[in-house]
Structure 1
């Protein structure tokens, strides 16, 4: 094992140990009886993301006067990232804090519950979708069919690409072995010539170190720096200035709860959890962005070079992305219904990302 990998694991181990210290806190008796404790696993494998999650989870018992507590677990602590939903449905976990895109295997419309290539591009646009255009109600309806309750979206920021070679245009993706989160993102880069593979976040560093992959999409600078990506790559690829990520500009997480655990809460506590998740989303997003600003200096000190795609690249990628949007939207009625709301929003005077000419010839099966 390399010294780099050892030091990375030691660093992350320190964070995990600090979080684990809070797991042994005694249950607090309340007027209603003993504390209800939920086992909640996040997709964050380490770094600032895991630390923010653990701090938030450990704050719940005090905020509820001991009525509800969250016992936090990091990525793979109980089950693997791609087993999270089965664990919730089977009662192994009470709740999960996953990257929403991981739900696409059981809920095809989940592709549109988080950002996708060249779609909605700013956090407030997804807030508008969820809290103004009916997205939250649609999500809860779809998750309920799977025996789960979708509490609400949680922002963290755009995803970026780390690479062993410079990516200066979309032509440079051709032939590259690339980690992607699956779905539309993977299909987009496959169309651009990359050889994509699906890996959970915890497996990206060793894959880059071994050379199994030479390009990797993951989340933002702070988390990726803590995971050691600057040790195994020399470049970060982003979109044009002001468009940090063209393929997942507003990558989303959420809190999803098993329906049995959710229904066991009082209506008042259910309302608290819903409001708390909305507040946590704002705090989580801001804390991640603040940490990102510090991480950029660290990447630069390590010699990492930032490269940017051009506006021409964006236009070419959009031509590739539009038919992929429709392909995934037409997989089932729920996906088509969710996408139609977003498409109308993107074509409206508020945004104007999509014009009638761009979608000419495409049909949506509603």
Structure 2
């Protein structure tokens, strides 16, 4: 107290009037609050983002109020999708919603993002693999090495072909120029598919002009939502994966600056996004197969499609041979699918 009085006495020497009063009886001044602002870019265009992310971000901003606001940008608005990782790593953007494969992640797990052939049969497989079979820990380790925070993984829709001409056999797939994900394209090329990479917003026009013969980028819900059902005629009911695996990511430094309350609120928003997609896609895929009028359904017979499934097992082993981390992930996929097969209905049929 003696030191405090001495400081106040010396600090107040020569001050009179309002200044002297301010020191004699300090007033409480409200500090101006600084709102944390993030820029997040999604892989999705506006029509799709309306479902897969915008509701969750809108809710986050509403609850966070003056504490934090996330400005959402759609596919390729700030940077091309293939440059998302680098932009986030550098801090050009703060957060990303994408799969590892599409955003050109340099990590060992990039190949498993998007559609890794036959890794899942249903959308619920993805969150179980991450939350109960150890993928979360692997992804966290790999992204921490490169200054990026892996926030949360979830499932989207299954991967099907939507094409201008019908596919009723593996022979019909040969020569088809198809927009798809890097790893899916790598797998499908052995069946004569020609993978094509284009900006997302150019796909509809490319289908109209004949630059593309089809897409293997989504399920039927997205085909209708983004307009591809208007420029394709057929939907193949066989799929190469039960669900697209995607995640939310953030620049590590920016994430670490967030107070705990905002980190928790961000977790809730991401969970909200994951839950919305579970029922939106699951219901939409069935409803549009039954009631959709824009595309005719085609199917490759089971006995022929089994050769594609067998090729996926060899593809898994090839990927596993590339590194210990990839082998660890593939081993988890194998164990999980074996468990689901043993569990039987409703987890696996046949």
Q: TM-score, normalised by structure 2?
A: 0.82
Q: Which stretch has the larger CA shift, 206-215 or 110-119?
A: 110-119
Aligned residue for 1:323? Answer: 314
Could you tell me how far 1:70 is from its partner in structure 2? 1.2
Q: How far is the alpha carbon of 1:125 from its aligned partner?
A: 1.9
C-alpha contact 2:126 2:154 (8 A) present in aligned 1: no
Choose 72-81 or 48-57, whichever is displaced more: 48-57
* Counterpart check, 1:337 vs 2:336: no
The Cα shift of 1:139 comes to 0.7
Q: Are the counterparts in 1 of residues 81 and 103 from structure 2 also a CA contact under 8 Å?
A: no
Paired with 1:336 and 1:46, the residues of 2 have a C-alpha distance of: 37
Aligned to 2:181: 181
Asked if 2 retains the 8 angstrom alpha-carbon contact of 1:115 and 1:121, the reply is no
Q: Which SS does the other structure have where 1:175 is aligned? A: coil
Equivalent residue for 2:266, pick from 269, 273, 277: 273
Structure 2 CA distance for partners of 1:31 and 1:288, relative to 1, 3 Å: farther
The CA deviation string for residues 186-226 of structure 1, in whole angstroms up to 9 with x for no partner, is 12221111222223432221221111121211223233223
User: What do residues 84-106 of structure 1 show as CA deviations (whole Å, max 9, x unaligned)?
Assistant: 11110121110011134324551
The Cα of 1:269 is off from its aligned counterpart by 2.3
Q: Deviations over 1:291-323 (max 9, x none)?
A: 5566557741x3x21112222133110222112
State which drifts further: 218-227 or 166-175: 218-227
Match of 2:341 in 1: 351
Q: Report the CA distance shift for 1:105/1:40 in structure 2 as closer, same or farther (over 3 A).
A: closer
Question: What CA distance in whole angstroms lies between the structure 2 residues aligned with 1:130 and 1:329?
Answer: 18
1:253 aligns to what? Answer: 246
Report how far residue 235 of structure 1 moved.
Answer: 0.7
Residue aligning to 1:232: 231
Contact between 1:48 and 1:291, CA under 8 Å: does it hold in 2? no
Question: Counterparts of 2:97 and 2:337 in 1: how far apart (Å)?
Answer: 28
Number of residue pairs matched by the alignment: 314
Runs of 4+ off more than 6 Å:
none
How many Å separate the matches in 1 of 2:241 and 2:203? 17
> In the aligned structure 1, how far is the partner of 2:248 from the partner of 2:105?
17
| Structure 1 position 78, deviation (Å) | 0.7
The 3 A distance-change label for structure 1 pair 131 and 71 is same
**1:169 touches 1:313 (CA, 8 Å); kept in 2?**
yes
Measured against aligned partners, the alpha-carbon deviations of 1:319-338 in whole angstroms (never above 9, x if no partner) come to 22112112222222221111
Unaligned runs of 5+ in 2: 1-29, 344-350
| Residue range with higher mean Cα deviation, 198-207 or 320-329 | 198-207
Kindly provide the CA deviation profile for residues 270-307 of structure 1, in whole angstroms up to 9, marking residues without a partner as x: 2332343123201233234445566557741x3x2111
SS of structure 1 residue aligned to 2:57:
helix
1:208 and 2:201 are equivalent in the alignment: no
Q: 1:59 to 1:182 in 2, by over 3 A?
A: same
- Name which of structure 1's ranges 321-330 and 74-83 shifts more when overlaid on structure 2: 321-330
Superposed CA RMSD: 2.4
- Check the 8 A contact 1:35/1:67 in 2, yes or no: yes
Aligned residue runs from structure 1 range 182-197, under 5 A: 182-183=182-183, 185-197=184-196
Q: Residue 37 of structure 1 aligns with which residue?
A: 37
* Matched residue, 1:91: 91
